Structure 1
Amino acid sequence: MNGILLLYKQKGPTSFETIEKLKKKFNLKKVGHCGTLDPLAEGLLITLINNATKINNFVNYEKEYEIEVKFGFATETDDMEGEIIKKTTVPANLQNSIKEIIPSFIGEIEQIPPRYASIKIQGKKLYEISRQGKTIDIKPRKVFIKSIDIINCTNDTARLKVICRTGAYMRALARDLGEKLSSAATLFYLKRTRIGKFTINESFLIDNISNLKENLISINDALYEMTPVFLDDDSYKKVKNGASIGNNSKTYTGFCKLIYNDEVIAIGQIFGNTIEIKRGI
């Protein structure tokens, strides 16, 4: 039983705790996920079941979020879990102020990850370093934000819809919006509503799943953007041995899914007329 499951992660548990609950309920061998949601966040969590854990690095679809950013204070974690470290005035006419600065956050931008993040620096997770009271220089990372739309605003809170690529932190975006307006801001609420073509409306609460298999999406369908290459018996044997094969597709660059008997058996990378095996499934 291999494939992906669209889970609805609720507020409270970590992403790891969520998939561990699923693993225990259905006695699964391997479970992973695509894109961590913080404990206070909720929404769509793509869960990888058994052999589907091997496609983790290839499910890099754009993500859509609904977030609430509260202005007037900053916290050490850039969300509501941390202690308040700064208080400021709230920008006047918040909606218009945000409209004016949105263009500077669109496209490829540099973003400094929150100090309490799971990324590794010098071999350690950043949040572990921060919890030890140590300070470390965090270099900006290039991220891509496709769009930011204002859903509504109150005197001190903006509700936004954000579409971005993998790697962008909504906590950092909230913090940076505040700083751009010479104020301070923190992420008050986050819901992930879409990853690629998969939406929150298709997701399941773990407690509501009785038959896991009937709710799984195949590895082939999970990799819907990837070029399919269909193998004959000879090519299949070469792929299973990790050998390169000829390219019979009409695509001459990028990754591809190698299919035999209607199942994805490997991920390849196309180099002109040759396909090199990158990951067996």
Structure 2
Amino acid sequence: MQGFLNLNKSAGFTSHDCVAKVRRLLRLKRVGHGGTLDPMATGVLPIALGKATRLLQYMTSEKAYQATIRLGVKTTTDDLEGDMVATSSASGLTLETIVPFLQQFQGKIEQVPPMYSAVQVQGKRLYDLARAGQTAEIPTRQVEVYQIEVLEWRPGELAELDVAIACGAGTYIRSIARDLGEVLNTGGTLASLIRTQSSGFKLDHSLTLEEFAAQVQAETFNPIPPEAALEHLARITLSPDEARRWCQGQRIIYQDASTDSAANIRRVHHENGTFMGITQVIESGGEVLLAPKMVFAD
């Protein structure tokens, strides 16, 4: 079996837990996930099955979330899973006050990951250091937030702001909640998080673990075709002879390809429509060549 499962992760499970459950249900060794979700978070967790695990690195990094930010409280983990470390009344805040501050969290921004995160510092995960009571200087990282849209505002001592966030890889929504609380001088933490889109997969087409298990038991589960996760890549179609030589690892001349897109990575199809794999378009000796990166089909 090979392809993808668009899983709707429930709260309380780690991404690793989900992979283990899928592996047991399918009795399949090669299972991986694209884009870790915190245990508290729910929503889209792409699961790669079989040979499709090798395609995870080529999937789009764009993600979308619906988040609830609670203002007036700070926690050790920057979400409600952690211990409360400070409170401050947020009753004086209005939506009109908050909206201008949201602008500084959009675009390419420098972000400090939460102390409780999988980021490595000097070879150790930050959450391991935090659990051991150790501190570390957390390096900032550049991330990109495409859009923050306000969905709902609930004022009060502990006010809550619901937002929709579209962003790139590596963005911590917990950090946005924490940092918004800092600039508003009230403190802030993430109260809930739903990932609505990840790597081209959307929440409204996802399956819960229970739904997935039921389909497996009924023998009705069909994985999403591998190429469905690669539609953001330009497509190259090869003739039968070209496809045969390319699958054998040969670089082949391809007159119709250009080298003007990011990383020059394309998806390759046989002229009969079969997905063949991933190629890199390179220039050599004045010729445009297709260099196999990952051969998926024989």
TM range (shorter): over 0.9
Shift of 1:94: 3.3
SS of 2:57's equivalent in the other structure is helix
Percent pairwise identity: 30
Residues 1:7 and 2:13 aligned together: no
Deviation per residue, 1:14-33 (Å, 9 max, x gap): 11101211110111121111
Q: Which amino acid aligns with 1:119?
A: V
Matches within 5 A, 1:219-234: 219-234=226-241
SS of 2:265's equivalent in the other structure is strand
Q: Which amino acid aligns with 1:221?
A: A
Computed over aligned residues only, the root mean square deviation of the Cα atoms, in angstroms, reads 2.0
Matched residues in 1 for 2:238 and 2:2: separation?
20
Matches within 5 A, 1:7-86: 7-86=7-86
Matched residues in 1 for 2:256 and 2:178: separation?
46
Matched residues in 1 for 2:51 and 2:255: separation?
26
Matched residues in 2 for 1:223 and 1:67: separation?
27
Q: Which amino acid aligns with 1:191?
A: I
Shift of 1:86: 2.2
Larger radius of gyration: 2
In structure 2, the partner of 1:218 is: 225
Shift of 1:7: 0.7
Deviation per residue, 1:88-135 (Å, 9 max, x gap): 232623312220111111111111111111122333222122222222
Q: Which amino acid aligns with 2:266?
A: C
Shift of 1:232: 3.6
In structure 2, the partner of 1:205 is: 208
Unaligned runs of 5+ in 2: none
Cα contact 1:220–1:263 (8 A) shared by 2? no
SS of 1:22's equivalent in the other structure is helix
Shift of 1:76: 1.1
Deviation per residue, 1:29-78 (Å, 9 max, x gap): 21111111111110111111111110111112421111001111111111
In structure 2, the partner of 1:277 is: 292
- More displaced 10-residue stretch of structure 1: 107-116 or 223-232: 223-232
Matched residues in 2 for 1:124 and 1:249: separation?
47
Matched residues in 2 for 1:105 and 1:28: separation?
41
Q: Which amino acid aligns with 1:266?
A: G
Shift of 1:249: 3.7
Cα contact 2:257–2:281 (8 A) shared by 1? no
SS of 2:97's equivalent in the other structure is helix
Matched residues in 2 for 1:40 and 1:19: separation?
16
Shift of 1:138: 1.2
Q: TM (normalized to structure 1)?
A: 0.92
Q: TM (normalized to structure 2)?
A: 0.87
Unaligned runs of 5+ in 1: none
Q: Which amino acid aligns with 2:111?
A: Q
Matches within 5 A, 1:102-181: 102-155=102-155, 156-181=159-184
Seen in structure 2, the aligned counterparts of structure 1 residues 263 and 270 have a Cα distance that, compared at 3 Å, is same
Matched residues in 2 for 1:167 and 1:248: separation?
37
Residues 1:259 and 2:269 aligned together: yes
Q: Which amino acid aligns with 1:244?
A: R
Matched residues in 2 for 1:56 and 1:160: separation?
28
Deviation per residue, 1:219-272 (Å, 9 max, x gap): 112101111222344444443443433234443242111224644333222224
Seen in structure 2, the aligned counterparts of structure 1 residues 133 and 48 have a Cα distance that, compared at 3 Å, is same
Matched residues in 2 for 1:231 and 1:80: separation?
52
Cα contact 1:66–1:160 (8 A) shared by 2? yes
Matched residues in 1 for 2:237 and 2:220: separation?
25
Matched residues in 2 for 1:265 and 1:124: separation?
39
